[in-house]
Amino acid sequence: MQMKDMMTTGVPFLHPGDTLRRAVELFRATRLTSLPVADQEGRLLGIFTRFNLFDSLLSGHDLEQAVDYFFTRQVVTASPDVPYREVAEIVKKSPVGMGVVVDGQKRILGVFTKVDMIMALFKQADLLNARLQAVYRAMHNGLVLVDFQEQVVLLNPAAQKMLGVKEEEVLGRPLPEVFPELRLKEVISTGRIEIGKKYMLGGRAVVVNCTPIICGEEVVGAVAILQDLTEWEHLAAELETVVQLHNTLDTVLEIAYDGIVVVDQEGRVTLINKALAEFLKVSPPEVIGRHITEIMENSRLHIVAQTGIPEYADLQTIRENRFLVSHLPIVKNGVVTGAVGKIMFRKLEEVRELARRLDAVENQLSYYKEQLNKVGGVRYTFENIISVSASMNNLKKEALKAAWGHSTVLLQGESGTGKELFAQAIHAASSRRKGPFVKINCAAIPDNLLESEFFGYAPGAFTGARKGGKPGKFEMADGGTIFLDEIGDMSPALQAKLLRVLQDKEFERVGGTRSIRVDVRVIAATNKNIQELVEKGKFREDLFYRLNVIPLFIPPLRDRKEDILPLVYHFLQKYSAIFNTRVERVSPDALQVLQNYHWPGNVRELENVCERAVNFATGKAIGVQDLPAYLLNYTGKPKNAELEISMPSYRQKLRAAEEDIIRAALEAAGGSKTKAASILGISRSRLYVKLKKIGLMD
């Protein structure tokens, strides 16, 4: 605050020649105790006070006498920019209790009196009070203020929340009565500050700092600042856990015999352990942030970080040595954010011996799995359901939770979305996984055989029946899971009998008289809208509610197109292994075609397209020319018949192009079929098949 913020402006002046009467009139009109005297240009000459007036009258002068002989020429002046602290000193030094505010040319701008200073003090006090209120109300810490008798004067909002009381409930009450644990009496009596005392207030751990309030040399109260330790203790515990995990991870990485490297989505190194850094003869700081191919030229880690497809136990040459390398994607919230690579430094002779033993164990395991599948029929788990989309990952989480229980599950979705995969995965993750998994396709069995398939038949039940009878699917699934596929095609009569099994857990064989109790979990699936069938009277409402305990809707592939790329790479690996080819990737143009298509046949159709593409591919990558023509023609809009490609002519052109490529490869290889196969990137046996197809080999 400066002088210009406090002074009184617009005061009248006296001029030389003005009479005492004029001065009396101005005193009466303004109630000022002094009047500035100025020349005709408004420059200060002096000040005429009431005492000057009294002295002139007592000396016998009349009111018509001029003021020239009576005003005081020694005046305290100040500029408008003088700060508040100096204003107080100016007023103290003024013999008349008033100062005159002038500019650089001594022109009068206003006056400053003791009353002005008092009003400025009030204004300053109000401003200070508003600021203090804003501060203590916004404080995160609690604030308790007491007077010299230890009575509560103030409780800020943070303290009210922390202590569980309202300010109006405790104002004026003794602090020991309200909060007996918190005592400020010693601080008030001694005037000493207390720092860092820990109390339990309102069920919370609180650290309190206490400070006396001193006015002059007298203690007039005390203030306590409360810091809630509860949230800090939680944060400290979490931080300690993170630090321990970080230290544990660092230790594990450093003592690991294998080399480990982590990259981000762009393939840049974010972490490398000591073993790999020493092998590559680099220091970790100098490789962090560099692309993985700059430190390992033939690495595929950046490809895995883009595709999300893991690669296990591949042979890779690093520094003229061959090692086993595995690449795994890092997935966060359904999105691939990077990849981690592991390099096994053990000698390949040891690995080969280990592989031989593993092959023997794997052969045994395959045999036992085959035998188990003959009984249980389960080949898939949740790991076999390839997805990165949020919708599918959330669905798998829901299905996994459902697997832990025993309630009936209803799988709904279009054909080809993978309903049977989910059914088998739920069974494999359940407590019934050691029991049988029995499947019935309700649409593939004639109505007259459905009942005997479901419940079996007793000896002699009908002509041609087995002598000892036959158990039904429900009986075979006892202790396990029965999968009712295409349940929307079940006849009304069989629906009633199925409802009884679900309700009573028992049934009778066809032609039998004895009830058979079973412990079976039912998983049903359909590609139809069951609710519409119920409304049309084609499906029992009570059976629908029995089946619809845990409904799971599998989204079509067109609604989760982010899953297309990982599925394509999965199918390429699968059929490349089956056909003994080396088709490893899909070209950007071909991928764009696959992404644009609407996939009415869903994942099943995508797998068929990939199988066909692997058959037609002549290199390591699937190109647009390897895809079916109907994908290339699809625009998502009604087609113009004139622009449609004739399927037979397209296939003829494709075969002709393939024949030209094979002939060119044979010519480049000098007639050697082995070299030609190498040029084309396919096996020799695969080349023989293609040569026979085009008539170049008997």
Task: Return the pLDDT at 638.
Answer: 39
The 3-state DSSP class for residue 574 equals: helix
Task: Return the pLDDT at 425.
Answer: 94
Task: Return the pLDDT at 507.
Answer: 85
**Strands 550-553 and 409-412, how do they pair?**
parallel
Q: Which sign does the torsion angle of CA 49, 55, 60, 66 carry?
A: negative
Q: What is the pLDDT of residues 127-162, one digit of tens each?
A: 777 777 777 777 778 888 888 888 888 888 888 887
**DSSP one-letter code for 539:** S
Task: Return the pLDDT at 646.
Answer: 41
Task: Return the pLDDT at 644.
Answer: 37
Domains belonging to the chain, first-starting first, are 3-121 (3.10.580.10), 139-228 (3.30.450.20), 233-346 (3.30.450.20), 382-555 (3.40.50.300), 558-693 (1.10.8.60)
CB of 452 closer than 8 Å to CB of 510: yes
CA 384 centroid distance within chain: 26
Task: Return the pLDDT at 411.
Answer: 95
| Alpha-carbon gap, residue 685 to 322, rounded angstroms | 27
| Alpha-carbon gap, residue 612 to 627, rounded angstroms | 7
Q: How far is CA 187 from CA 171, 190, 209, 213, 223, in A?
A: 20, 5, 11, 9, 9
Helix-strand-coil split of the chain, %, nearest 5:
45, 25, 30
Provide the residue count of the chain.
698
Task: Return the pLDDT at 502.
Answer: 87
Type and span of the H or E element at 192: none
**Of residues 420, 421, 411, the one with CA closest to residue 384:** 421
Q: Which residues of the chain have pLDDT under 50?
A: 348, 367, 371, 374-375, 637-650
Task: Return the pLDDT at 605.
Answer: 93
Task: Return the pLDDT at 234.
Answer: 66
Task: Return the pLDDT at 268.
Answer: 93
Task: Return the pLDDT at 350.
Answer: 56
Task: Return the pLDDT at 464.
Answer: 56
Residue 249, both tokens: 């991870």
Task: Return the pLDDT at 179.
Answer: 78
